Amino acid sequence: MIRRLALVLAICLAGPAPAAAQYLLVPMDEAQANHLRAYGLAFWVLRQDARVEWLLNFRAGSFLLPDGGAVRREAGLRGITVEPLSGSELAAVRGEIERSNMEAVILEKAPRIAVYTTPSSRPWDDAVTLALTYAGIEYEKLWDPEMLGGDLSRFDWLHLHHEDFTGQYSKFFLTYAGSDWLQEEVARNRRVAAEFGFADAPALKKAVAEKIREYVEGGGFLFAMCTATETIDLAIAAHAVDIAASYADGDGMDPDAAARLDWERSLAFQGAQLYDGPTVSAFSDIDGHLVNTPVRQPLGSFRLFDFSAKIDPVAAMLTQSHRRIIADFYGLTTSYRRARLKPSLTVQAEEPGAPWVKYIHGNYGKGTWTFLGGHDPEDPQHVIGDPPTDLDLYPDSPGYRLILNNVLFPAAKKKQLKT
């Protein structure tokens, strides 16, 4: 009897358990403990067939999630800051959004994610697979056999990174000719080219580039970084030209071949001049920094543009970040010269006063593409053989946030984005 009375007294003294709020706010400003894993939490909620709201321009692009024990537990396990909202607090948030250049975009369904990479690649081989793994977002690897076999149609979103779609192996023969990893890459590409009846790697990569172009034209979402951004367009424009075999005795590209580059088919660039194939470690004059050449340009910082979420929700979505000025980082393709951009695209980040930009987006057919120059936002120099980036040291990386903005972009309610 005494024990029972003590238990009842303890319960009374403790008071009633706090009632669950209707919503959880995942702040994405400086209050957030782990910005990158917050994207993974939003993705996880979508996988549970629950709705997520992305509050564009509100506290640096915060998320609104349904409250519940499972969501709170998942946030706790991932080390993510969440703030329960009472009814009056939620009404205040919605009122602020309504009165400003903010917008609440509904995310409906977790996109199916594919990464174009070799079967033997590791998560730290490119910044996107590193970000996906760290955030806990599932993805599948596709490489040339799957691309040519039609597997790409199963996915909503495709990422490309450091592949050279001109088939010149990123011109690494100039400095890494004897490396085991380069010889392995050459042998693998020759093997697949022969298997599918192509004469060589340039022909194989051009066919893969055409599959990617068709994917975007048909409604796919493409996100690319580093070398892939420049070389995918060179390969698409050169659909009637063998780039690697079109150089005239070291004097640059054969004029007849150059004249057949079809920039109407390309995604982002136009009028590019190709650099001499066997002697210059750069592809074209699209890249402004030319990292592996004698005219390499120093790194600065780039600035994200501020977009009204009500007027241009897509651009706002892709530029959500708690910092607007971000330190630049090299890649084999680091930036994009303004003179080579198609007029219809949207510049999302630039280095003020420089003749190049960093981050661009555009429509193509029924789909979209987004290009971000550079290789790894937290490894500015990126030398081959460097240790992988430890994202536990950079959980608030604004550069990696740009990558993860793109991952969630296809989940947005399409009708809302057209307004």
Q: What is the pLDDT of residues 25-45, one digit of tens each?
A: 999 999 999 999 999 999 999
Instruction: Give me the long-range contacts of 174-181 (CB less than 8 A, separation at least 24).
Output: 174/279, 174/281, 174/292, 175/281, 175/292, 176/384
Q: What is the pLDDT of residues 66-89, one digit of tens each?
A: 999 999 999 999 999 999 999 999
Mean pLDDT is lowest, of 8-12, 102-106, 403-407, for: 8-12
**What pTM was computed for the model?**
0.90
pLDDT above 60 for 12: no
Comparison of pLDDT for 236 and 275, the residue scoring more: 236
Mean pLDDT of the chain, nearest integer: 88
> Quick one: average pLDDT of 356-366?
98
> Quick one: average pLDDT of 215-242?
92
Highest CATH level, class, for 113-417 = alpha beta
pLDDT band at 7 (very low <50, low <70, confident <90, very high): very low
pLDDT of residue 15: 39
What span, in angstroms and rounded, lies between the C-alpha atoms of 403 and 113? 13
pLDDT band at 121 (very low <50, low <70, confident <90, very high): confident
3-state percent breakdown (helix, strand, coil) of the chain, nearest 5: 40, 20, 45
Q: What is the pLDDT of residues 87-107, one digit of tens each?
A: 999 999 999 999 999 999 999
pLDDT above 80 for 188: yes
Q: What is the pLDDT of residues 152-179, one digit of tens each?
A: 999 999 999 888 898 877 666 566 666 7
Half-sphere exposure of 7 (CA within 13 A, CB side): 4
pLDDT of residue 381: 86
Delimit the domains of the chain by residue range: 11-107, 113-417
Maximum Cα–Cα distance across the chain: 100
- Give the β-pairing of 367-372 and 221-225: parallel
pLDDT of residue 407: 97
